[in-house]
Amino acid sequence: MAAHQRPILAANWKMNHGPTAASAFMASFLARYARRDDRSVILFPSALAFAAARSAVADRPDILLGVQNINAAEKGAFTGENSAAIALDAGAAYVLVGHSERRHVFGETDAETAEKVKRAAAHGLVFVLCVGEKIEEREAGQTDAVCVRQLRAAFSGLPAETLRDAIVAYEPVWAIGTGRTATPQDASNAHAAIRTELRALAGDTGAQIPILYGGSVNAGNASALLSAPDVDGLLVGGASLEAESWAAICSAGA
């Protein structure tokens, strides 16, 4: 995979936009967002809307696609799940791993996240590892410790070459979907700690891994967040569901 062009703007639609809505969204978004070569745009549609999104960007190779989750197994009797191989065959190039909702709603452990990272890497999927603290951890001054623990669990033991295409997303759990956003300084501080750990884990490769911020990002705060030191892009939830706001975010910081 070629080096990511920064900033990286990633949209996580979560369980929103079925195929019909995805097609309508893409038509509206692409009409507002002209191709440009100074940033990377990645969409993570719901599994059943993936084909519709892929069809819509057939003539826009600048818009990249990923899946929101994979199972750690190669294949098998796992009703409702999708594997790395299936995601790749469907046309995905990226996968979210360890999103806070997978961790805190579905109970995914650090060990399970690590297995998904290994499976994604084995199939050549670029994994976006999500890390971040809950409000009680933040108030206890544990932000850095939580992020470091999650990074080590997912990346320790992996060769630097495996991490060359990796992306990390810092998403404080207390800021996701709550309207509470980390300030640019908050984000920068957390990203600095993440960067230090990535260097410790992977040397020069760790110094180059993009770090995205995610948590109540919108068109109004995107530029300020992107201007903060060590913020290489954004992982956006709710504000990526409307074509106008997503197009504005994708053009932020220009």
pLDDT of residue 99: 96
Low-confidence ranges of the chain (pLDDT < 50): none
Is 3 a member of any domain?
A: no
Is 105 a member of any domain?
A: yes
106-138 pLDDT, tens digit each = 999 999 999 999 999 999 999 999 999 999 999
Per-residue DSSP letter, 210 = -
Q: Is the peptide bond before 7 cis (omega within 30 degrees of 0)?
A: yes
State the catalytic residue, choosing from 4, 17, 99, 191.
99
Question: pTM here?
Answer: 0.96
Is 215 a member of any domain?
A: yes
pLDDT of residue 157: 86
pLDDT of residue 3: 67
pLDDT of residue 4: 82
**Which residues does 228 contact at the CB level (< 8 Å), separation at least 6?**
184, 185, 187, 188, 191, 213
Total domains in the fold of the chain: 1
Task: Please check whether residue 31 is in contact with residue 247, taking contact to mean a CB–CB distance below 8 angstroms.
Answer: no
Say whether 112 is catalytic.
Answer: no
Determine the structural domain holding residue 136 and report its residue range: 8-250
Residue 164 is part of a domain; what is its CATH number?
Answer: 3.20.20.70
Say whether 99 is catalytic.
Answer: yes
pLDDT of residue 73: 98
State the catalytic residue, choosing from 101, 108, 133, 171.
171
Is 222 a member of any domain?
A: yes
Is 179 a member of any domain?
A: yes
Q: Indicate the SS3 state at residue 97.
A: strand
